Structure formats: structure tokens, C-alpha cells
């Protein structure tokens, strides 16, 4: 059995964290695609084909990672013209039945084995993995009867869904699927059209996950991934904790990391190697701080992901936020994470206000951005890569990549009653 991993998309809705393919975002020092490969190896697969962009970003990230006994072949999708076209780039390497997976499918685990088992020895049967969802109109939606799929519709109109079941980016195809994919090459949803063809022939089966699966479309979806990885965290202290500092519950502390006195870390929390935390910090779960970070005096961090090499100066608060690699956060900077009215936070993505389903969401900041002292980041703002935010700024709207931004309230615009 071979697996084709799709890692060539633009990840445009993942901005401002899409400098590389979204599956290359790192948690616990490894890109997400690493955890998928680990799961496939555990499931017994020996060979995978990774479809990537012409810049070969995935290949560069994976070449130094340990994957003995797992053969990895790379193909190039020249233009992002759909998942079906991506699969066809691997045609010359496909021998028989094959799996197709989205590159961020880190929770596939036992489901790979279940899907293969469902396909059995049938030569012409295709199988897909599904999961229940509260938003079926955002995904591929299934019409079913028994263990057969009768139809698949991509993003049906709200209220017109067949069921509450969605496709989750794990499929098993017989080799003849390549023939159907070629018939639909001009259709960006050629993979869905191929699934429809198998459904009409009565050869499409389904396997159901027990709960809603992880999916990575928008950057705030990373919080679900953080929760997923936090389940496996255990207390492990490889660095040094000074007298007067405390760690509680599941805390991982990497090599050469120093936690200074007066600091309290309440797990689940992951802190990588060569970091300095404190003094007098409060780090709350679920937080992931990657390698080479420096967290200054009196900083509080809660339910956030902090990219490698990022520095957060003293007396700052980072809550429900994601900071890319090599950011610099000035002293006294606050990421607000709750609206006054307590309503769900919506985020502007590609000109459209998107529901996050979160009541608490802070800022998401791209790699390399520098934020001046005493800056206020309002709930749900996106700050692009390599930006300069001046001191005392009030950031209430998204800021594009490589921008220089500065503003300051100089008068009361409207008196409170």
C-alpha cells in the first residue's frame, strides 16, 4: 500500500502563517507533516509520495528528519489546480491501490488501518473517511445508505446538506481512479467528481470517526491541534528550574532551558530547548513555546503558540494567540482576547468576515514581525509577516505583510455614558 500526501496548496486562508505550506507549521519542534508520516509508518506503510510546490519547501524541511524504513518520493504540482491534479503528478509511481491524505492529517492513526480494512480485497472499491460536524456546509457532504456512499457534494448550500457527515481528507482508491481523475482535469473539484463516479457505480464505502476531526484551513484551527498534542504531554524536565519557580501538572521543559525564580507554569505546557522564562512569569495551559524563545520578567501567556526564536519583553500579556517565528514583542504589549459584549469573534479573511466559533481569540502574528512597547492588539486581528508596529499603537484591523504601522489615540472620540 502506498500513500499520496497532498502538500502543494497555496494555504491562502492560513495567512499570515502561510510563508510555507501550512503542514510545515511547527509544534513541539516538528512540522505537522512529520506527525502524519509517523502515523503512517506506525500503520505499517513503507512508501509515501509527497506532492509539493515547485519551491520544494516540504522536501527541504523533511530531508534531515529521521524516517528509516519509510521511502519518501517527491513530485511537483506546478500550479495549484486542485487535489485531483495533485494526485495525477504521482501517477508514474502508483503500483496498485493507494491512499490519498491531506498533509496535516495528524490524527489519522488507527483510521488508516480501518479504511484499508474496509476496502478489503475488492479490486474496484474506493473508501473515504468521514466525521460528524456541526458545519456540514463547509466540507464535502455525504449521502449514505448502510456502508455505501450514494453521493458526495462539495460545500452544499446551508440547509441543503444530506447529513451531518463530512469528508476529512483520507481516501483509499483503486488504480483505476487515475482514469476518472483524467476525465475531470479541468474541474478544480476533480477528486470529488471521481468520488461521485465511484458512488454511482456502487463502489464507494465509508468509515466514520467518532468525533469531529481536526482540520487546518484557518490559522486559529491550530488551537485544536495544540489541544490534540497536549493530550500526550507528560511531566519531563530536561532544563533547569530555579528555586522559587514552580511547574504543575504536565510540563515539558527542553534541554538548556532555564525557568527563573518567581515563575509559575501550569500544564499542559511545552517549552522547547534553549529558552529563558522569567523571572516572575505565569505560563498557563495549553501553551507551546518553541526553541530559542526568551520570555521576559512578569509576562503572562495563556493558551498560545509561540514560534521559535520569538522574544516577549517584560510585563506583556499574550492570551489565545499565535506568534510566528522570530517575532519581537515590546514591553507592556497586550493581546486582548475577549469582546466587551462577549460575542463570538469573527475574523476578516480575504475580504470576508469568518466565524471562528471562539468566544476568546487574541492576535495571530506572522513571522519576523516587530511590535513596539505598550501596543494593544484587539481580538482576532491578523498581523502579517515582517511588519513593524510602532510603540503605543492600537491595532484593531488586519495589517498586511511588510507594513509599517503606527497610530495612537490622542483624544476621546466619544464619551461613555
Q: What is the pLDDT of residues 83-113, one digit of tens each?
A: 888 999 999 999 999 999 999 999 888 899 9
Render pLDDT for 29-42 as a digit per residue (tens, 0 to 9). 999 999 999 999 98
Burial of 128 (0-12, 13-18, 19+ CB in 10 A): buried
Average pLDDT over residues 348-369: 94
Q: Are 132 and 151 in contact (CB under 8 A)?
A: no
The DSSP secondary-structure symbol of 233 reads -
Tell me if the pTM is above 0.85: yes
CA 112 centroid distance within chain: 20
Annotated active-site residue 314? The verdict is: yes
Average pLDDT over residues 358-378: 96
Render pLDDT for 181-227 as a digit per residue (tens, 0 to 9). 888 877 778 888 899 899 988 889 999 988 888 889 999 999 999 99
Confidence of residue 67 (pLDDT cuts 50, 70, 90): confident
- Using CA atoms in the order 115, 116, 117, 123, what is the torsion angle rounded to 10 degrees? 120
Choosing from 21, 215, 228, 314, the catalytic residue is 314
Distance CA 358, CA 370 (A): 26
Distance CA 67, CA 50 (A): 14
Distances (CA, A) of 314 to 184, 194, 209, 271, 336: 56, 55, 44, 18, 17
Average pLDDT over residues 344-367: 94
Residue 371 has pLDDT above 70, yes or no: yes
Distance CA 236, CA 247 (A): 10
Average pLDDT taken over every residue of the chain: 91
Residue 236 has pLDDT above 70, yes or no: yes
* Domains along the chain with CATH numbers: 2-217 (3.90.550.10), 224-405 (2.160.10.10)
**Helix (H) or strand (E) run with residue 371 in it:** strand 370-371
* pLDDT value for 134: 87
**Residues in the chain, overall count:** 417
C-alpha cell at 293: 524563545
Distance CA 79, CA 89 (A): 11
Which percentage of the chain shows pLDDT scores above 70?
98
* pLDDT value for 413: 46
Distance CA 287, CA 222 (A): 12
* pLDDT value for 408: 57
Which percentage of the chain shows pLDDT scores above 90?
69
Render pLDDT for 245-281 as a digit per residue (tens, 0 to 9). 999 999 999 999 999 999 999 999 999 999 999 999 9
Confidence of residue 399 (pLDDT cuts 50, 70, 90): very high
Amino acid at each position: 500500500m502506498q500513500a499520496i500526501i497532498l502538500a502543494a496548496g497555496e494555504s491562502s486562508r492560513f495567512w499570515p502563517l502561510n510563508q510555507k505550506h501550512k503542514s510545515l507549521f511547527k509544534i513541539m519542534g516538528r512540522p505537522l507533516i512529520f506527525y502524519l508520516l509517523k502515523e503512517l509508518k506506525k500503520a505499517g506503510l513503507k512508501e509515501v509520495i509527497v506532492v509539493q510546490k515547485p519551491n520544494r519547501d516540504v522536501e527541504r524541511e523533511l530531508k534531515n528528519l529521521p524516517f528509516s524504513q519509510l521511502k519518501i518520493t517527491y513530485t511537483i504540482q506546478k500550479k495549484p489546480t486542485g487535489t485531483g491534479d495533485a494526485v495525477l503528478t504521482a501517477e508514474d509511481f502508483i503500483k496498485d491501490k493507494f491512499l490519498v491524505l491531506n498533509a496535516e492529517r495528524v490524527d489519522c492513526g488507527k483510521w488508516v488501518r480501518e479504511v484499508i480494512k474496509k476496502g478489503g480485497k475488492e479490486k474496484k472499491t474506493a473508501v473515504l473517511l468521514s466525521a460528524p460536524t456541526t458545519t456540514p456546509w463547509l466540507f464535502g457532504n455525504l449521502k449514505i445508505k448502510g456502508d455505501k456512499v450514494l453521493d458526495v457534494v462539495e460545500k452544499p448550500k446551508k440547509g441543503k446538506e444530506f447529513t451531518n457527515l463530512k469528508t476529512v481528507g483520507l481516501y483509499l482508491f483503486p488504480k483505476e481512479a487515475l482514469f476518472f481523475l483524467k476525465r475531470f482535469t479541468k474541474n478544480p473539484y476533480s477528486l470529488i467528481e471521481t468520488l461521485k463516479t465511484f458512488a454511482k457505480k456502487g463502489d464507494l464505502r465509508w468509515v466514520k470517526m467518532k468525533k469531529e476531526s481536526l482540520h487546518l484551513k484557518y490559522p486559529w484551527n491550530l488551537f485544536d491541534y495544540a489541544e490534540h498534542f497536549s493530550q500526550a504531554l507528560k511531566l519531563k524536565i530536561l532544563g533547569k528550574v530555579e528555586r522559587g519557580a514552580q511547574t504543575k501538572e504536565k510540563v515539558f521543559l527542553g534541554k538548556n532551558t532555564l525557568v527563573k525564580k518567581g515563575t509559575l507554569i501550569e500544564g499542559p505546557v511545552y517549552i522547547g530547548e534553549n529558552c529563558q522564562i522569567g523571572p516572575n512569569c505565569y505560563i498557563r495551559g495549553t501553551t507551546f513555546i518553541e526553541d530559542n524563545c526568551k520570555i521576559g520578567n512578569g509576562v503572562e501567556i495563556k493558551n498560545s503558540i509561540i514560534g521559535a526564536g520569538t522574544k516577549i519583553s517584560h510585563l506583556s500579556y499574550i492570551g489565545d494567540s499565535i506568534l510566528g517565528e522570530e517575532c519581537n514583542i515590546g514591553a507592556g504589549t497586550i493581546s486582548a482576547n475577549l469582546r466587551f459584549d462577549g460575542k463570538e469573534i469573527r475574523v476578516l479573511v480575504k475580504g470576508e468576515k469568518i466565524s471562528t466559533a471562539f468566544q476568546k481569540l487574541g492576535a495571530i502574528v506572522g513571522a519576523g514581525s516587530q511590535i513596539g512597547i505598550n501596543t494593544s492588539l484587539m481580538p482576532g486581528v491578523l498581523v502579517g509577516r515582517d511588519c513593524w508596529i510602532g510603540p503605543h499603537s492600537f491595532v484593531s484591523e488586519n495589517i498586511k505583510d511588510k507594513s509599517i504601522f503606527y497610530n495612537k489615540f490622542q483624544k476621546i472620540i466619544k464619551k461613555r455614558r
